[in-house]
Structure formats: structure tokens, C-alpha cells
Amino acid sequence: MDFERYNARVAEPKWQRIWEERQVFRASSGDPRPKYYVLEMFPYPSGRIHMGHVRNYTMGDVIARYKRARGFNVLHPMGWDAFGMPAENAAWHNKTHPADWTYANIASMRAQLKSMGLALDWSREFATCDPSYYKHQQKMFLDFLAAGLVLRKKSKVNWDPLDHTVLANEQVIDGRGWRSGALVEQRELTQWFFKITDFADDLLDALGGLPRWPEKVRLMQANWIGRSEGLRIRFELAPSPAITASEIEVYTTRPDTLFGAKFLALAADHPLAVEVARSNPCLAGFIAECRHGGTSEATIETAEKKGFDTGLKARHPFDRDWLLPVYVANFVLMDYGTGAIFGCPAHDQRDLEFANAYGLGNTPVICPGNVDPASWGITDTAYDGDGILINSRFLDGMRVAAAKEEVSKRLKAAMLGKLPQGRREIQYRLRDWGISRQRYWGCPIPIIHCGGCGMVPVPEEQLPVELPRDMSFDEPGNPLDRHPTWKHVICPNCGSPAQRETDTMDTFVDSSWYFTRFTDPWNSREPTTPPLVEEWLPVDQYIGGVEHAILHLLYARFFTRAMCRTGHVGSLKEPFDGLFTQGMVVHETYRDKDGAWLLPAEVRIKTDESGRHAYKADNGEEIAIGPIEKMSKSKKNTVDPDDIIGDFGADTARWFVLSDSPPERDVIWSEEGAQGAAKFIQRLWRLIGELASAAAPAGSSVQDATAAEATAIRRVVHGSVIQVEEDIERLRFNRAVAQVHDLTNKLSAFVGDIDTDEIATDVRLALQEAADFLVLLIAPMTPHLAEECWAALGHTGLAAEAPWPAADRALTIEDTITYPVQVNGRKRAELIIARDANLAAVEAAALALEAVQRALERRPAKKIIVVPNRIINVVG
């Protein structure tokens, strides 16, 4: 065997072929081993994989391979999140059909992923744009509809008045349509919604049962759901010719501040505002102004607080003679609460700014507990903390919580008309999930609109409703709507002419259940096979970017509940037991003297004592090294995984992305680092060769290794196994890498010290074990190299199928302990003493040390603290 140079270019495809031929990574159900489901968020087939994919899939692969070695029946599948806008954009730009574009991308990305040597069960692969996938999604839509989990209602969209098309938020650039440049308007469309709010409480409460999720993600979801407990309060209106209504209902979480109220404010779309506007052109103008500028939060955010006095007056619920002005305000949202608020400037910052702008007054009603009420007055910023009620009649002297109770109690007792004035209510920030998209490249919504029968579900035997193939994409708008024949159908109910729904589903729907489909992608009749879902799910380890912390993960959790209710997932409640959100791959940026971005490949880096310098590769001109940023085409700071794999091999790329940075943080890709990883691959190969030539032949027993040298070697090796094991279990891949480096250094030193002519048999045996264990340790991370080494060491099976090395913990315990000895908290000496020495002996030995005596200046110690097996501190 030639250990001169490891040739990844030859070895990697060879082992990939062998794994595939032997179907090593195919998972099967009904296996007696415990199951383990590893899943990385499946990729959008954009065309090429990027380093972020490499990092994501390498992490999952390490876990999959490690768990397999630990005796688990591992499911590690791959698929494609294949519907989406980029395919339609490509169709528009390049005149390619979205399907052709998508499937070509899938083909090239599949080849790229395969070149990474991932331990995937490719037999379960699917793309969400396959009719054989979306057929089941349509079935589930109908099941959800039947179960009352789907509704139709109006919602606002970004409308491009020139292109006559709905725009996604990302298609709105500075308030204008990305293609037409026209000013975007808000328009109401009737759309399909999933009733995610039905599960708001459960989705919130169940977060507590997800200890293996990052705290951060659970918090983000909790904030997104945004549960708040408050009170609906009905205010009587003073009679006015402009309106027919006699009251306004507001929602508040701060009923305690009711005596600090200075005004009421309505959303621009509030029915009462609209009604008053009919007889008030100025107000109508203001409302139109509020509607301008799109729906996106960013635009609202920057807007200045504006209002318009309707002239209406509302009576304070506790004092009929106290009249409050009613405004329409741009900061009140129609979608939240009742679309109307009462404003208390003293204790809400927005209300304060509004009241100041319109001179509406300010009366503080809550005084912080540690402040004398006599000295407490109007403040520059609203005070929203706890305290004692003041200026509030019967509430005076109460704390906030008690005042809330009291107001609630009294308003529930007070009647307005025939109903109580106040009603407790829990509100959520979470809104129902609008899934209608006016696009072609998505899953068609299986509904037929019939003039006589209304909305008719497409009968199950007619599914899938397939996307028509003959399309033109040279005009804006929804291509499906323009198709000459597709939407014209016969009503399945009454047989008269009817029309298909031409909206397609949000692509988040596709990714909300794919993890269940992987458990039985061959089921052509049903979306899932519930017993198989129950066998494999929940996903034990899910890995992906933190950018999906809210929407995707929340939708998937909703879908699991909805599928549970409709009988598709057995008793499964939560889809992902363990979640890990990995950081990005980032890279330096380079700009030449004209400010043009340069690719890393066009740059040479030199480092000396004065630091790093970058030079243009072609003419040597020095260029500026810019900040380290997320890899992006626009800044040209990208590295193509294909180039790295082609130059150094997949194992080098895998090793690099696992090294250095903790996986949840960003990792900086650098050319030096990639070189370093490649060198280390070669070093491992050479070390295995050296170990092999000194070692006993494979298959010999190590049981009788007794020489001190052999024990020392085994102690190091077994200790490393324990460390790497722990690091992989805890997803601390950077530490596992460091541990392997460390073991490599130590084994190199051993081999270097050994006189190869005179090696005791038990040392040979220890070295043989060291070689085997080292190979198995690196196998999850650099699987191709591991196979090559495994074969070179004389094993007949595959490293990928070998069990994880069994560490002997007893071996790692030495009979002596080396204590650091501190005097007054400062390390002065080391004490080597028998592990079984008693406390008095340890203390005496520590005090007897010359360095300790010197540090104590020969005076007696006041106190001595011995932390068993850890440290000794002498107090002088």
C-alpha cells in the first residue's frame, strides 16, 4: 500500500460508487434497532450548491454517520423545495419553462451533493413540484377544508397597477414594482387562508416541551404568536349626523390607564372612519393617503405619526360627561384587536407622540412605586412600568394588576345597550396564514368555482390538478389565469360550465409536511402512511438556517397539528424534537482601486509581520481587503464548492466547514484555512501509514497489552474517543476537530519516538488499535479518507458500516493525580500524588512543597482547600 499521497480525486468517486452499489445508507422500516431521523432543511434548486449548503449538509451527515455507527437505524433523506418565484423569473428572462429550469437545476445540484459523499438515502428523493407530491398536498388541502381549517377572506396585497399583478414584498423596491417601476398600491383580494390561529395557544404552550430547540428560536416564535390578555371596552358615542353607529369598541391591554385617556383613535380602514369620510372629503383624503405606500411594515415603520379628527366625541365609560375626541390615526392597525384604541399619552410612547402633535393633553395615572406621588408629573417618555394608581378616582392607591381587575369587573357589570361595556379577551399577534398566490409555479388549489354551486372541491379521483405545460411567460400577471383552456371546466356537482381556481399555494405549504412524506414517499394513494410517520417521527435532529426560525418552523408545527386532526400523522404532535440553527459561511471582500469587487480567485494574499495584504493575481497591484460578509454574488466573495472539491476533495471541504467556528456561529472561509484542511487530510493519511507499518496485523487481540508505553498510547486514544463522542453528541464539531488534531499530534510523537526495530508486541497491538480507532473517529467527518485508510489497514468491511469504537473508561483513569497547587488563588506548584491518597496526606504533601513554602514565606497556612481530583488552594 502506498502511503505517499492520498489522491482524493480518485478515492472519493470510488467510495461513493461502492456506498451506492451496496445501498449502505438505505433506511428501512421495521428494523429492530432504535430509529434516528436526521434532516437538513431541503434546498431550493436554484442551480448550484453554495458553501452554506456544504456546511448544513456536512453537519447533518456527521450526525447521520455517527448515529449509524452507534447502532441506530438512521433515516437521512434528501429532496427539493422546488416551487417558487425564481423559476418563473427565469422563465420570463430566459424563455425557459419553469419545469425545465427546475429539473435541470435539480440534476446538477444532485450531482454536486453526491460529490460531497453524503450518507443519504437517495431512494426517497422527491421534488415538491412533482405531481406525485403535490397531488397529496391538494388532498390535504381538501381534508383541511372539510375539517374547517381553511377559510376565505379578504386581505391586502401589493398591487402593481401597470403590470396588473400582485407583488411579493421582495418585488416591491422603494414602494415601486420591480418590473414596471409603478407606484405600488394596496388592494384587497379574496384569498385562501389556513386557520393557524386556531392553534395559537397550543403552538405557544407546546414550545415549553421543546427543550432541544434553541432558546432563541422558541422566544422568537413566542413573540411572533404574541399572546396578550386584555379587555374590549365599548365607548358610547355622542350623537352625530355623520354616522349611524352609537358606539366604538376598543381593545386594550392597559384598562388600568383608563382615567389617563385623552383620545380614541381608529384605523384608516375602520368602518366608522369610512362612514364619516363619506360626508367629509378631507378625511377621505387622509384615509387614501394612509393606504398609499404599500402594506410592508418597513414603510409603516418610517412613517411619522399622523391623525385626523373625525369630529366625533366618545363618552368615557366611567363618566358620561367626559367626552374624548375620536381621531383616525395611521399607527392603528385594522388587523389587530378591534381596529380602535383609546390613547393614554402618559403611559404609551406612541400615544404620547400623537397627543403632543395634536395638543391632546397628558395626565399621569401611574406613579412608580419608589417615587412620591406628589413629585410625580408629566414625563418626557411614557412610563410603562408597574406602580400605584393616581388621578384615577376609585382606582387611586391600587397597583396596576389590581386596577386592571377592578376596571374589568366594573365594566363587565356596567351595561351599554343590552350588553356589558367590557369583555375580557385574549388577542394574538399571529394572523391566519394566507396561502393564495397569483402565480404559475406552485401547487394548484383544487377548487372549482361554479355559478350555481359556489365553491366545489375537485373530486379526489380527479387529483392531481396538474399545472398545464403549454404556457407563455412573456406577459405579467398570473399565467394560469390567462391560459386559454385550463381554467374552463365542468362543475363536478351540477355539470354546468365552471372555472378552476387559478391561485396556487404559497411554497411554504410544500415545505410544511415534506418531512412526513420522506417516511413513505412511495405511497401513491395517500400523502402519508400514518404508522410509518409514527415509526420515524419526530425528526430527532433538524438542521437549518436561523432565517427559518419563525415562518417555516411555525407552519410545519401547524401542519403537524392539522394533519393530526385529519388523520395523516397518527398521534404525532410536534415534528422536530431537536433543532439546530447553523451560522453562515462568510468571506472577506476585495475591491481594487476603482472600487470594483474581485473574486477570491483573482486575489493573492500575503501575510507578514505587518498583517495581511491582498494583491491582484494578474498584475500584483495591492488592493483593499474589505469587511467579512455573507457570501454573495454581488460582492463576489463567493467560493464555489465544485472548485474546492475539484482541487482538494470533498473531505477537505467537509473538514474545513466543521473546523474552527462553533457551528451556530458564522464560519469564515479562507484560502489558508482550505489549504490547511487539505494538508491535514494528507497528514492523517501519512500517520495511518506510519501506524500501520509499526502495528500488528489487523485482527490481532489487544487484550494483553501491558507495557507502560502501550498503556500510555491506549489511554490517549480511548480518551480521545470519549471526547469526540461527547463533542459530536453535543454538535460541537469544532471541538471534535480539535480533538482529532490533538490525537494526531500525540500519535505522531509516539510513532516518532519508537524504535521500529524493537517494538514490543503489546505496543504493536496498541498502535494497531490506535490506527483503527483514529480512522473510525474521522469517518463521520471525512468518510472517503476513512474508507481508504480502513481498507489499507486490512479490514474487509466498510468503515461506514463499522461500529463506533468502544472506549474503555477505566483505561483513562490514572492511578496518580496531578494537582495544581495554588497559594492565595495563584498557581505555585504541581503535586503528583496517588489517586487513593487520603485528604490529610494530600494536604501535608501540598504544604511540604518547596514552592508553596516559599510563597507562604515560611509562615503557617491559615486554611487549605482540596477539591478532590481537581485543585488545591492554600490560604496564607
Partner RNA sequence: GCGGGCGUGGCGGAAUUGGUAGACGCGCCGGAUUUAGGUUCCGGUGAUGCAAAUCGUGGGGGUUCGAGUCCCUUCGCCCGCACCA
Scan residues 557-616 and list those touching RNA (CB under 7 A).
606-609, 611
Contact 58, 654 (CB under 8 A): yes
Instruction: Please give the full DSSP string across 115-181, using - where no structure is assigned.
Output: HTT---BGGG--BTTSHHHHHHHHHHHHHHHHTT-EEEEEEEEEEETTTTEEE-GGGEETTEETTT-
Give the nearer residue to RNA in terms of CB position, either 95 or 604: 604
Least Å from the CB of residue 246 to RNA: 21
3-state secondary structure of 719: helix
From the list 117, 260, 339, 457, which residue makes contact with RNA (rule: CB under 7 A)? 339
Q: Which range in 505-513, 567-575, 639-647, 666-674 contacts RNA by CB under 7 A?
A: 666-674
Position 665 contacts RNA (CB under 7 A): yes
Record the cell numbers describing residue 10, joined without a space. 480518485
- How many Cα atoms are found within 13 Å in the side-chain-facing hemisphere of 102? 23
Q: Which residues contact 304 (CB under 8 A, 6 or more apart)?
A: none
Return the number of other C-beta atoms located less than 10 Å from residue 54's C-beta: 24
Q: Does 679 bind RNA (CB under 7 A)?
A: yes
Residues 6+ positions from 105 with CB-CB distance below 8 Å: 45, 46, 47
Quick one: 301 or 461, whose CB is closer to RNA? Answer: 301
Residue 689 CB, nearest distance to RNA (Å)?
Answer: 12
Which of 162, 207, 243, 668 lies at the binding interface for RNA (CB under 7 A)? 668
Q: Which is nearer to RNA, 640 or 742 (CB)?
A: 742
Q: Which is nearer to RNA, 99 or 625 (CB)?
A: 625
Q: What's the closest the beta carbon of residue 414 comes to RNA, in angstroms?
A: 19
CB of 629 to RNA, least distance (A): 10
Nearest 5°: the CA angle 27, 33, 38 is: 50
The Cα 424–Cα 230 span in angstroms is 6
For 386, residues 6+ apart whose C-beta sits below 8 A from its C-beta are 366, 368, 369, 399, 400, 401
- Please report how close the Cβ of residue 442 comes to RNA at its closest, in angstroms: 23
Subset of 230-249 contacting RNA (CB under 7 A): 230
**DSSP-assigned letters across all residues of 435-475:** -EE--SSSPBP-EEEETTTEEEEPPGGG---PPPS----SS
Q: Is 320 exposed, middle or buried (0-12, 13-18, 19+ CB in 10 A)?
A: exposed
User: Measured from the CB of residue 125, what is the shortest distance to RNA in angstroms?
Assistant: 31
Taking contact as CB under 7 A, which single stretch among the options 332-340, 537-545, 616-624, 840-848 is the one that binds RNA?
332-340
- Rounded to a whole number of angstroms, the minimum distance from the CB of residue 824 to RNA is 6
> Within positions 519 to 558, which residues make up the interface with RNA, using CB under 7 A?
546, 549-550
CB of 668 to RNA, least distance (A): 6
Please choose, out of 239-247, 330-338, 438-446, 521-529, the segment that lies near RNA by the rule CB under 7 A. Answer: 330-338
**Total of residues contacting RNA (CB under 7 A):** 87
Rounded Cα gap, residues 301 and 296, in angstroms: 9
Angle, vertex CA 166, rays to CA 161 and CA 172, nearest 5: 80
Which residue type, as a one-letter code, is found at position 491? C
User: 221, 463 in Cβ contact below 8 A?
Assistant: no
Residue 178 in contact with RNA, rule: CB under 7 A: no
Of the candidate residues 89, 253, 499, 812, the single one contacting RNA (CB under 7 A)? 253
* Contact stretch for RNA (CB under 7 A) within 307-315, 403-411, 415-423, 672-680: 672-680
Does 252 bind RNA (CB under 7 A)? Our answer is: yes
CB of 95 to RNA, least distance (A): 35
Which listed residue (102, 128, 330, 528) binds RNA by CB under 7 A? 330
- What is the footprint of RNA within residues 423-452 (CB under 7 A)? 427, 429
| Nearer to RNA (CB atom), residue 161 or residue 369 | 369
- Alpha carbons within 13 angstroms on the beta-carbon side of residue 748 total 12
The pattern of x and - marking residues 752 through 791 that bind RNA according to CB under 7 A reads x---------------------------------------
Counting contacts by CB under 7 A, is residue 640 touching RNA? no
Q: Single out the segment in contact with RNA by CB under 7 A; choices: 65-73, 138-146, 567-575, 682-690.
A: 682-690
- Closest to RNA by CB, 34 vs 820, is 820
| Cβ nearer to RNA, comparing 742 with 808 | 742
Taking CB under 7 A as the criterion, which residues in 340-359 touch RNA?
341, 348-350
Q: Which stretch, 29-37, 514-522, 532-540, 681-689, contacts RNA (CB under 7 A)?
A: 681-689
Q: Which stretch binds RNA (CB under 7 A): 55-63, 469-477, 730-738, 784-792?
A: 730-738
SS3 568: coil
- For RNA, the closer of residues 418 and 863 by Cβ is 863
Sheet holding 816-823, edge to edge: 826-834, 816-823, 871-875, 863-867
- Residue numbers 806-835 binding RNA by CB under 7 A: 818, 820, 822, 824-827, 830
**Interface of this chain with RNA, residues 267 to 326, rule: CB under 7 A:** 267, 297, 300-301, 303-305
**Quick count: other Cβ atoms within 10 Å of Cβ 634?**
7
Residue whose entry in the numeric block shows the C-alpha cell 384615577: 392
Q: Measured from the CB atom, is 17 or 827 closer to RNA?
A: 827
Query: And the C-alpha cell for 515?
Result: 418531512
Question: Under DSSP, is residue 858 helix (H, G, I), strand (E, B) or coil?
Answer: coil
CB of 741: closest distance to RNA in angstroms?
A: 3
Number of neighbouring beta carbons within 10 Å of residue 545 = 15
Residue type, 290: C
- Asked if 186 is part of the footprint of RNA (rule: CB under 7 A), the reply reads no
Q: Which of 767, 778, 479 is nearest to 658 (CA)?
A: 778
- Residue choice 162, 182, 189, 220 for contact with RNA (CB under 7 A): 220
Coil, helix or strand at residue 498: strand
Q: Please state, in angstroms and rounded to a whole number, the distance separating the CA atoms of residues 87 and 746.
A: 53
Tell me which residues in 851-870 interact with RNA (CB under 7 A). Answer: 863, 865, 867, 870
Q: Does residue 847 bind RNA (CB under 7 A)?
A: no
* Measured distance CA(165)–CA(184) in Å, rounded: 10
